[in-house]
A and B are shown apart, each in its own frame.
Chain A
Amino acid sequence: MTRYWRSAFVRAAPPVLLIATILGVWQLVGGGSRATMPAPSQIVRAFVDSRGVLPAHIATTLTETGLGVVLGVSIGVVLAVLVTSSVVVRRALRPLLVISQTIPFPVLFLLLVLAFGYGLTPKVIVVALVVFFPVTVTTASGLEQADAELVDLVRSFGASRMQRLRHVLIPAALPPALAGLRISLTYAIAAAVIGESIGARSGLGLYIARSQRSFRYDQIWVGMLVVAALSITLYSCVYVVERLACPWKHVESSAGTAA
Chain B
Amino acid sequence: MNRRRFLRSFAVVASLAFAACGTAKSASSSSTPAKSTKVTIVLDWTPNTNHSGIYLAQAKGYYRDAGLDVSIIEPGNGGGLPQLAAGNAQFAVSVAEELLPARAQGARVVSVAAILQHNTSSLIVPASRNIARPRDLAGKTYGGFGGDLEKALVDAMVTCDGGDPGGVKYVEIGNTDYKIGLDRRDFDAVWVFDGWDVIRLEQLDGMKLVTFPFHDPGQAGRDCIPDWYTPLIATTDDLIARQPDLVARFVQATARGYELARSDPQTAVAALLAAAPELDKALVNKSAQYLATKYADTGQPWGRQDAAVWATFEQFLVAHKILSTPVDTTKVFTNQFLPKS
Chain B residue numbers with a CB within 8 Å of A118 are: 73, 76
A161 to chain B, nearest CB (A): 48
Question: Which residues from A are CB-within-8-Å of B46?
Answer: 209-210, 213-214
B278 in contact with A198 (CB, 8 Å): no
Are B78 and A210 within 8 A (Cβ)?
no
> Does B177 lie within 8 Å of A210, measured CB to CB?
no
A214 touches B283 (CB 8 A): yes
Given A210-B46, A215-B283, A219-B278, A114 and B76 contact (CB-CB distance below 8 Å): no
Count, chain B residues at interface, CB 8 A = 31
Stretch binding the partner chain, chosen from B26-34, B80-88, B149-157, B233-241: B80-88
- Within 8 Å by CB of B278, from A109, A200, A216, lies A216
Determine which residue in A53, A114, A212 has the highest number of CB atoms from chain B within 10 A of its CB, and name it.
A114
Find the A residue at minimum CB distance from B205. Answer: A34
Instruction: Report B44-86 CB contacts with A as 1/0, cut-off 8 Å.
Output: 0111100000000000000000000000011111100011001
* B76 contacts A216, C-beta separation under 8 Å: no
* Docked pose: A34 CA to B76 CA in angstroms: 22
Assess whether A114 is in contact with B77, with CB atoms less than 8 Å apart. no
Nearest residue, chain A, Cβ from B2:
A213
B204→A50 contact, CB < 8 A: no
In the assembled complex, B200 has its CB within 8 A of some CB on chain A: yes
A50 pairs with B278, CB closer than 8 A: yes
Name A105-124 residues within 8 Å CB distance of B. 106, 109-110, 113-114, 117-118
A211 and B280 alpha carbons, distance in the complex (Å):
7
Does A36 sit within 8 A of B, measured CB to CB? yes
- Tell me if B284 counts as interface (CB < 8 A to partner A): yes
Interface string of A203-224 (1 = CB under 8 A from B): 0001101111111100100000
With an 8 A cutoff between CB atoms, is B210 at the interface? no
The reply to whether A199 and B78 form a contact with Cβ atoms under 8 Å apart is yes
B308 at interface, CB cutoff 8 A: no
Let me know if B132 is at the binding interface, CB within 8 A: no
Contact of B276 with A210 in the complex, beta carbons under 8 Å:
yes
CB distance from A200 to the nearest CB of B (A): 7
Q: CB of A52 within 8 A of chain B?
A: yes
Q: Contact at A113–B78, with CB atoms within 8 Å?
A: yes
A183 to B212, CA, bound (A): 51
Which chain A positions have C-beta within 8 A of B280? 33-34, 214-216
Give bound CA distance, A143 to B90, whole Å: 52
- B299 partner residues in chain A, CB cutoff 8 A: none
Known A36-B180, A214-B279, A214-B283; judge A209-B1 contact (CB<8 A): no
B105 in the interface (beta carbon within 8 A): no
Interchain nearest-CB distance for B104 vs A (Å): 21
Using A113-B76, A199-B78, A209-B76 as known contacts, list a sample of 6 further A-B pairs with CB atoms less than 8 Å apart, ordered by residue number in A: A109-B76, A114-B19, A199-B76, A212-B177, A213-B1, A216-B278
